[in-house]
Structure 1
Amino acid sequence: MKRAWHKYKGSAAHHIVAGDHSNVHAGRAREILKRLKIDVNSAENGVYLKHIDPNSLQPGAYHRVIHTNEYFKNVYNRLDMAEKLGGAKAREAVLTELENIRNDLLFNVKIW
């Protein structure tokens, strides 16, 4: 987790589940967080990514290119599956999947 929260110059905070994007999948993902009482603005839903400078020392994806329909759809599908398979522990399962998505973003796994 330490790596996710170290902010280098040229980086910015990124919501894993978009806080205000109009994409239908982003909206569905926000509904999952709301149902499970996970604040969209919480640290669990965040990661620092390169923002201003694509050559920043910040590890991971470049923030300005990942807001695609495919990204929003992947995030929603992963959280939806975690919620469904989590059963009585759905909240913990979704938090774990947010961590998995964060790691994908940090290690530049293309999910967008």
Structure 2
Amino acid sequence: MRARFYNPVIGRFTQEDVYRGDGLNLYAYCGNNPVRYYDPSGYASNAGKCWSKTNPFDLNNEKQKYTDNVTEQIKVKGTYDSKAQNSDILRGELKTSGNMQTPPYGNAAHHIVAAKEEDAKIARDILKEYSVDVNSASNGVFLPYGKKETNSYITTETTHNGSHTGDYYKYVNNKLQQTIEEIETNGGTVTSKDITKTLDDIRKGLLDGTVKLNKPK
């Protein structure tokens, strides 16, 4: 630290903080939360890039980050080469959406509604009808490769390994169809926000592992 000495054994500074606005404990390091914050100067804590999701609080933060940053991103905003793959475009859109960060581990930019698979045509047609681009950030999520046994970053997320199941495509199709049916049955008008809200619900299921994606090997 440039301003104060930090003792890693006791987990605190050995001098008082000269700025007295962060709390009553003038010796605490980053409000006793060194996992999510760091203090390179000794004067003020900064939010760090946190990818350790070892408890429900961290998982909820990850879900909320997507909700806050991508649900309204229904168009492709970047400029891409004509030969760019759908996955490359989606990755670019996710990376440039608000406060999103690329995970520091092997990952896939996963299309919630598949970009090409025939089994996902119903869902793709719904996205098109409500002006949600299949490669937009609202239709994406970063999912890890590998297995929990070999990748310490993986906690609850569904992993992106191998072929996706037909059941997954049916699930996504049905969720979007149900959204439309429920709103119209109650006399409402379906909007793109209703569609992206459903995509966000599916995304949360992929992040907490309740939505299954791959065929078992």
TM-score scaled by structure 2? 0.46
**1:3: Cα distance to partner?**
5.8
Aligned ranges 1:1-112 → 2 under 5 Å: 1-2=64-65, 5-6=100-101, 7-23=103-119, 26-51=120-145, 53-55=146-148, 56=151, 57-58=153-154, 60-65=157-162, 67-86=164-183, 87-112=188-213
Residues 36 and 3 (structure 1), Cα distance of their counterparts in 2 relative to 1, 3 Å cut: closer
Report percent identity of matched pairs.
35
Mean Cα displacement is larger for which, 63-72 or 4-13? 4-13
Q: Distance in 2 between matches of 1:82 and 1:90?
A: 10
1:8-37: CA deviation from partner (whole Å, max 9, x where unpaired): 3111110000001122xx011000000000
Equivalent pairs counted in the alignment come to: 109
Q: Which has the higher contact order (CA 8 A, sep 6+)?
A: 1
TM-score scaled by structure 1? 0.84
- 4+ residue runs over 6 A deviation: none
Alignment RMSD (CA, Å) = 2.1
Mean Cα displacement is larger for which, 92-101 or 55-64? 55-64
Residues 66 and 103 (structure 1), Cα distance of their counterparts in 2 relative to 1, 3 Å cut: farther
Structure 2, gaps ≥5 residues long: 1-63, 68-99
Look at both structures and tell me which one has the larger radius of gyration over its CA atoms.
Answer: 2
Structure 1, gaps ≥5 residues long: none
1:37-70: CA deviation from partner (whole Å, max 9, x where unpaired): 000001110000012x223415510112561100
